[in-house]
Every structure is written in structure tokens, then in C-alpha cells.
Amino acid sequence: MSPSPMATDSTRLKYISLGVLVLQTTSLVLTMRYSRTLKEDGPRYLPSSAVVSAEILKIVACIFLVFRDNTFSLRALNHVLREEIVKKPTEALKLAIPSAIYTFQNNLLYVALSNLDAATYQVTYQLKILTTALFSVSMLGRRLGTYQWLSLLVLMAGIALVQWPVEAAHPPEQTEPSAGSQLVGVLAVLAACCSSGFAGVYFEKILKETIQSVWVRNIQLGIFGLIFGLMIAFVNDGEAIRESGMFRGYNSLTLTVVLLQALGGLVVATVIKYADNILKGFATSLSIILSCIISYLWLEDFDPTSVFFLGTALVIAATFLYGYEGQAKAAGSLQRV
């Protein structure tokens, strides 16, 4: 029996969204790192301002997607926005928590990438698989199999290896000033792993427990994101903003980072809708390989040691081991149907 056109469509969207996620993750990490370490004449752009700009772009894009889902009718768009957002403030308020966390996380990622090379950052950030698993178990009541627990141990061992040699291999006097402090970078990534795990699971819970569309939910998320983002911008960089404006130091590279970050939000939401968190893990593992190659060949800020390679191989193997059991279970339940 041939699959229905709708099933083919969603399978196509699943693979397209995963492919776009691989490209988006790789290009965001590399351009963000490049834009934070490039030597420039004028003042550098403010990360907090880039987070705000990305949030605005995401809201505009999601409003357009709701408009498209309503056959490009302005009346219908107006109706959906009023009924689903303006008239349901308590529903919208549910998104304030993940939104505050994501805003904090999006700012942390700039701290991480100003202090760590792209490859180390990406491998360490895979620890979010562990935090996501722990939050899924505690908040969604999900059960993990033996292979999945084992894979989480392999993951931690891999990340420890990736982190271990960096300090030993590069005495402080050999690191470039722009590389900053490894410790600050690692702490920022670890905090981002906790926030990513919690916010991702919380968002998934809200999506599964309510009927509102993912784009409406993303508009609600974005509105709070914008409010929190502006608060962080004024608290952290108020003086710089008053002196030289919100968009100081913006150039085409900054705009690319903002565009890629906004695209990331939309792709993550699409992946959660059409694929799942496990496949999202695979996609980020593939993007690690791509980033390592480009970081080494193009940015030349990454000098891999054999211990780094071993650690990266363990992290990637752990991702696949974690997904293997999930996929095997899914295949088993399909066969039983």
C-alpha cells in the first residue's frame, strides 16, 4: 500500500527540517564565533541587542506563518491573534517561563562563543542531551532504557575528554587574548545546557497538553522573549545603548548572525513538530563534525588533539546510541500495530 500524500508530506518536512537544522546550527556557531573574535576598528555589536533583533524577526516570521495557515486572509489572522493571544492572557503567561529561560540562554551562548572555540563549544553543548533526558524523566514521566542511560554515561565521558586537554595543551601565555577564559565559556555552556533541557521539555509539555498551534505558541514565546530581551539589554548594556544606540557596531555579519538565530527558533519548533528531540540530537551531532572541519580549516582557531578526537567520537557515538533504543522501540511498536 502506498503512503498517503499527507504522510509523505510530513516525512518530507521532517527530513527537510532536520537538514536545515544541521546547516543552521553549523553556520550559526561559526558566524557567531567569527563575529565575536574578529578584530574590528569600531565598537563591537552588543550581543543583548542581537538577541532582541532575533526575537523581533521570529515574531514577524511566525505572524506570517499564521497568516499563511489562514489562507492569507487578514481577517482570519486578526481573529486568530485576538482570540488566541489577546483574549487568553493566562495561556500566554504559561510561555513566560520558557521564554525568560531561552532569553537568558540566548545571551549565554554569546558568552560561551566569545570564550571557547566553535568545536569545543558544540561538543560540550551536547550535554544538553543529558539535561533534556533528566527533565523528560522528571517532568514528562518518560522512561529511559538501559542503552539510553549507558549512552548518557558515554556522553559525559566524551565531554570530559574534550574539556580535559585544552587547558593542558595550551598554557595561558599561548592563548590569544580574544580566546578569553575557558572557564567562563564552559560555565556559560553548562548553564545553557540546563536551561535548554528545562525550557525544551517545558515547551514540549505545553505543546502536547494544549491545542494551540506551534506558531501561535511561538508568537507568545517571542513576545515575552522580546520583553525579557529588552530588560537584559538595558540592565547589562544600558550605558552603551544610551551612548551609541541599540544597533551600534552592526554590520552584514551581525545581520547574518541575527537571521540565523531567528531561523534557528523556527527550525527547532518545526523539528519538535515533525521529528522529535532524539532526531534533533542526531542533527546537532552531524553539525559538530561539520563545525570541527570548518573551524579547523577556515577559522584556524582550533587545534585538535587526539584526546579531543576521542572525546568527540564518544559524544557522537553516545548520541546515536541514545537514539538507537528510541528508534528500535518506535519500530517495534509500528510492527505490532
Binding site for ligand C5P (CB under 6 A): 58, 102, 106, 196, 200, 203, 218, 221, 264-265, 268-269
Q: Which residue, 221 or 230, has its beta carbon nearer to ligand C5P?
A: 221
Q: Give 62-66 contacts, CB < 8 A, sequence gap 24+.
A: 62/215, 62/216, 62/218, 62/219, 62/222, 62/266, 63/219, 65/215, 65/266, 66/213, 66/215, 66/216, 66/219
Residues ≥6 apart with Cβ < 8 Å to 113:
29, 32, 33, 36, 121, 185
Whichever of 120 and 304 has its CB closer to ligand C5P, that residue is: 120
Residue 317 CB, shortest distance to ligand C5P, in Å, is: 21
Closest CA to 273 of 321, 215, 326, 320: 215
Least spacing, CB of residue 102 vs ligand C5P, in Å: 4
Whole-angstrom CA distances from 262 to 151, 227, 284 are 31, 16, 17
CB of 202 or CB of 304, closer to ligand C5P: 202
Q: Which is nearer to ligand C5P, 264 or 304 (CB)?
A: 264
Residue count of the chain, please give it: 337
Closest distance between ligand C5P and the C-beta of residue 311, in Å?
Answer: 20
Amino acid at 292: C
What is the smallest separation between the CB atom of 150 and ligand C5P, expressed in angstroms?
23
Q: Between 200 and 304, whose beta carbon lies closer to ligand C5P?
A: 200
**Least separation in angstroms between CB 163 and ligand C5P:** 19
- Yes or no: say if 193 and 108 are a contact pair by the CB < 8 Å rule: no
CA atoms within 13 A on the CB side of 121: 29
- Least distance in Å: CB of 16 to ligand C5P? 17
Angle at the Cα of 324 from the Cα atoms of 322 and 326, rounded to 5 degrees? 80
CB atoms closer than 10 angstroms to residue 250: 17
Kindly tell me which of 285 and 304 has the beta carbon lying closer to ligand C5P: 285
Residue that has been written with the C-alpha cell 531567528 in this structure:
262
CB of 218 to ligand C5P, least distance (A): 5
Nearer to ligand C5P, 51 or 166 (CB): 51
Nearest residue to ligand C5P, scored by beta-carbon proximity: 265
